[in-house]
């Protein structure tokens, strides 16, 4: 009886049915709360800026930007729906019940898949724009992009519903005590999820951007070969700059995706019997969520129109009449 009184429980009234509260280091916990709250605020603000910019300014209503808009929406929901719950329950018990646990995990899978799907669509868009520029306007239209985005979200909802079917039917089946939100995916479902959500998309992205890189380099060299001797030095500088820019874009896209997603999927690659620690699982989830904060930087912050639109938003010029027709390109 003395042992029970010394143990701090999540639900003291349940005694043996309650989980134990995790041991916390106060200073370390406060630091984590501050750090994760900053990530949450940045994620929401950056993605909101992308959404407002593309939605408001008519010049930005292009197929490519609509893909960026869809990506920003999925990343914004990660910030608004998932991050606050993760911050509140970090190193704490789950007090929100089985239904919220269901919704939280389901939304987490949907938004992750939708974000990855949008990244693949963006890579396809860039591939067509660089490798087949003369047919780009006829192949990639606003309606087709909207259809692809809609299918991406619909497939994400349906696919993750199938993957998490057992968990959605019985959300408490994997909890060992009251105060947990635990779920497990059957090994076959997990293997399929790794292929569909990670291995497949990263393969498509790498192949397409490698092709884009090769074409960009060849175009730069072709331009260099057609200039006069007088402008040769200038052309060399321009072509080398284009090559570096193409290489940098490829590196950023692939490396950020790998860095943010590899730890999350590592247990699946490690095998069925691999059991990760709570600290590693928390780190993997937050690194995955950080991708939603980095995405607007990688895909939009490097665009001049984004900096111009931010200036108009922060100076409140966006509130003026006909501001939607402003020149931001």
pLDDT in tens, 307-317: 888 888 888 88
Per-residue confidence (pLDDT) for residue 223, from 0 to 100: 66
Burial class (CB in 10 A: 0-12, 13-18, 19+), 170: exposed
270/213: higher pLDDT:
213
Residues 6+ apart with CB under 8 A from 159: 113, 196
pLDDT at 121 over 60: yes
Q: State how far the Cα of 317 lies from the Cα of 323, in Å rounded to an integer.
A: 7
pLDDT above 50 (res 272)? no
Tokens of residue 100, six digits = 């919220």
pLDDT in tens, 99-109: 888 888 899 88
Q: How many helices (H) and strands (E) does the chain have?
A: 13, 0
pTM score: 0.83
Return the sign of the alpha-carbon dihedral for residues 273, 277, 280, 284.
Answer: positive
**Per-residue confidence band for 2, with pLDDT thresholds at 50, 70 and 90:** very low
Q: Which structural domain range is residue 240 located in?
A: 2-325
Indicate the number of domains in the chain: 1
Q: Which two tokens stand for residue 118?
A: 């949008």
Residue 178 region by backbone torsions, left for phi larger than 0, else alpha for psi between -120 and 50, else beta: beta
> What CATH number does the domain containing 274 carry?
1.20.1070.10
Question: Exposed (0-12), middle (13-18) or buried (19+): which is 1, by Cβ within 10 Å?
Answer: exposed
- The answer to whether 117 and 75 have CB atoms below 8 angstroms apart is no
């Amino acid at each position: 009886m003395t042992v029970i009184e010394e143990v701090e429980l999540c639900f003291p009234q349940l005694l043996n049915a309650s989980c134990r509260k995790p041991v916390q280091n106060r200073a370390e916990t406060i630091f984590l709360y501050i750090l994760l709250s900053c990530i949450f605020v940045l994620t929401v603000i950056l993605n909101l800026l992308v959404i407002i910019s593309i939605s408001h300014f008519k010049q930005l209503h292009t197929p490519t930007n609509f893909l960026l808009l869809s990506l920003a929406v999925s990343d914004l929901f990660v910030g608004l729906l998932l991050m606050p719950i993760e911050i509140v329950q970090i190193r704490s018990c789950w007090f929100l019940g089985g239904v919220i646990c269901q919704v939280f995990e389901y939304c987490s899978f949907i938004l992750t898949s939708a974000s990855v799907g949008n990244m693949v669509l963006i890579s396809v868009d860039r591939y067509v724009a660089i490798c087949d520029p003369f047919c780009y306007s006829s192949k990639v239209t606003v309606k087709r992009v909207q259809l692809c985005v809609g299918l991406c979200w619909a497939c994400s909802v349906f696919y993750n519903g199938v993957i998490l079917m057992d968990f959605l039917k019985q959300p408490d089946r994997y909890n060992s005590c009251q105060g947990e939100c635990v779920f497990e995916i059957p090994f076959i479902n997990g293997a399929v999820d790794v292929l569909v959500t990670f291995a497949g998309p990263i393969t498509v992205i790498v192949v397409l951007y490698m092709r884009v890189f090769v074409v960009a380099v060849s175009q730069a060299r072709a331009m260099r070969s057609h200039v006069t001797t007088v402008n040769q030095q200038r052309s060399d500088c321009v072509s080398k700059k284009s090559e570096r820019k193409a290489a940098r874009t490829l590196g950023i896209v692939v490396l950020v995706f790998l860095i943010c997603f590899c730890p999350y999927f590592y247990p699946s690659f490690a095998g069925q019997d691999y059991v990760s620690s709570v600290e590693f699982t928390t780190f993997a989830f937050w690194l995955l969520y950080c991708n939603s904060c980095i995405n607007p930087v990688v895909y939009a912050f490097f665009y001049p129109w984004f900096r111009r639109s931010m200036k108009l938003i922060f100076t409140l010029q966006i509130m003026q009449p006909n501001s939607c027709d402003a020149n931001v390109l």
